[in-house]
Structure 1
Amino acid sequence: MTTVAPFDIVRTGPRFGAEITGIDLTGPLDDTTADALRQAFRDHKVLVFRGQHLTPDQHVAAVSVFAEPFDHPTAAKDPGNPLVYPYNVRQTGKASTWHIGGLWRTPVFAIESLTYEVVPELGGHTLWADLQAAYDDLSEPFKELLASVSAVYDGNAENYAQGSKKTAGGPTIEHPVVLTHPTTGRKGLFISTAATGLTGVTPAESKVLLDHLLRHASSPDYTIRFGWQPGDFVLWDNRATWHYAVDDYGDGARVYRKVIGVEPEAGPVPQTRS
Structure 2
Amino acid sequence: MSTLTTQDTGPVVHRAGPRFGAEITGVDLTRPVDEPTADALREAFAEHKVLVFRGQHLTPAQQVEAVRIFAEPFDHPTALRHPDHPLVYPYDVVKTGKAGTWHIGGLWRTPVFAIESLVYEEVSELGGHTLWADLQAAYDDLSAPFKDLLASVNAVYDGNAANYAQGSRKDAPGPPVEHPVVLEHPLTGRKGLFLSTSAKRLTGVTDQEGKALLDHLLRHASSPDYTIRFGWHPGDFVLWDNQATWHYAIDDYGTGPRRYRKVLATEPLRPATRTA
TM-score range, shorter chain: over 0.9
Measured in 1, the distance between the counterparts of 2:167 and 2:265 equals 22
Q: What is residue 190 of structure 1 aligned with on the other side? A: 194
Alignment counterpart, residue 125 of structure 1, candidates 123, 129, 134? 129
Which deviates more from structure 2 when the two are superposed, residues 108-117 or residues 256-265? 256-265
- Aligned-residue CA RMSD in angstroms? 1.1
| TM-score normalised to structure 2 length | 0.93
- Hey, what does 1:47 align to over in structure 2? 51
Taking the TM superposition and a 5 Å limit, the aligned residue runs for 1:1-274 are: 6-167=10-171, 169-263=173-267
Aligned equivalent of 2:272: none
Q: CA deviation at 1:177?
A: 0.4
Q: How many residues align?
A: 261
Question: Distance between the aligned counterparts of 1:158 and 1:230, measured in 2?
Answer: 29
Secondary structure at 1:213 match in 2? helix
Unpaired runs of 5+ residues, structure 2, are 1-8, 270-276
Q: Which runs of 5+ in 1 are unaligned?
A: 266-274
Q: Deviations over 1:13-63 (max 9, x none)?
A: 000000001110001110000000000000000000000000000000000
Identity of aligned residues (%): 77
Deviation at 1:263, TM superposition (A): 1.1
Q: Deviations over 1:59-85 (max 9, x none)?
A: 000000000001101111000100000
User: What residue identity is the alignment partner of 2:19?
Assistant: R
> Could you list the runs of 4 or more consecutive aligned residues of structure 1 that deviate by over 6 angstroms after TM superposition?
none
Task: Find the aligned partners of 2:190 and 2:26 in 1 and give their Cα distance.
Answer: 29
Aligned 8 A contact 2:155 2:202 in 1: yes
SS in 2 for 1:138: coil
**Deviations 1:179-225, CA, capped at 9 Å, x for gaps:** 00000110000000000000011111110000000000000000000
CA distance in 2, matches of 1:264, 1:126: 23
Residues 92-127 of structure 1, C-alpha deviation per residue, up to 9 Å, x if partnerless? Answer: 000110000000000000000000000000000000
Equivalent residue letter for 2:63: H
- Report the secondary structure of 1:263's partner residue: strand
Structure 1 counterpart of 2:267, one-letter code: E
Q: Could you state the TM-score of these two structures normalised by the residue count of structure 1?
A: 0.94
| In 2: Cα distance, 1:177 partner to 1:171 partner | 19
Find the aligned partners of 2:81 and 2:63 in 1 and give their Cα distance. 14
